[in-house]
Amino acid sequence: MAEDSVITINAIESGWLEMHVVSPAAPDGIAVIKLPAASCDPLGELSAMFLDIAALYKPDGMPEKPDQHLYIFWEVDPLMYSYVFSPGNRWQVGVELTCCADIHAGIHVRHEVKFSAVLEFNLLVRNLYLEMRNILKKYGLNGYREKWQKQDFPIAAFLKIHQLATGRPAVPGDFASELKVLQEIIDK
């Protein structure tokens, strides 16, 4: 795990994805979650979340709507993981991962905080981009589908996260240009 990693995908096999979440400020506090393909698409959902967060910021790094929270819920019978993202000033994002082991009729009865930190948004985006790139390089498109057994690799979301992580302009909408960008990414 790189020193500044927050999210690390440690294994993808038989329809399960193992994700480690750690704060660079407290590397001993690590949350390990196993997510089934049947109930979630973590790469696609995290990509969409980060793109939504980016859209909330003004160019000066201040959020359009202070105190706004965005959520991802992952159900892993009998647990529910909740990711809460709270955009803050100067491109800082509050991130909290909780686990609820006692869900009654879809209502959280009690939960345990597995991870809580305020992180630089650029660190989160870059980290997700590198994890997605490594997965794509290791498994390829077909290999990812075989391992994950549910969704295809979220290639369109990956290209958007690449743009956000590298500060590059949007990829032109034609397929040949997208393939060229993908080739550049894979060659790195």
Q: Is residue 147 part of a domain?
A: yes
Record the pTM.
0.85
Domain, as residue range, for 122? 7-187
**In total, how many domains does the chain have?**
1
Q: What is the DSSP code (8-state) at residue 135?
A: H
Predicted local confidence at residue 1, as pLDDT: 44
Q: Is residue 106 part of a domain?
A: yes
Predicted local confidence at residue 93, as pLDDT: 93
Q: Is residue 2 part of a domain?
A: no
Predicted local confidence at residue 4, as pLDDT: 63
Q: Is residue 72 part of a domain?
A: yes
Q: Is residue 152 part of a domain?
A: yes
Q: Is residue 1 part of a domain?
A: no
Q: Is residue 125 part of a domain?
A: yes
Q: Which residues of the chain fall below pLDDT 70?
A: 1-5, 14-15, 23-29, 102-110, 149, 169-172
Predicted local confidence at residue 25, as pLDDT: 62
DSSP for the chain reads --TT-SEEEEEEETTEEEEEEEETTEEEEEEEEEEETTT--HHHHHHHHHHHHHHHB-TTS-BSSTT--EEEEEEETTEEEEEEEEE-GGGEEEEEEEEEEEEETTEEEEEEEEEEEEEEHHHHHHHHHHHHHHHHHHHHHHHHHHHH-SS---HHHHHHHHHHHHTPPPPPSSHHHHHHHHHHHHH-
Predicted local confidence at residue 50, as pLDDT: 93
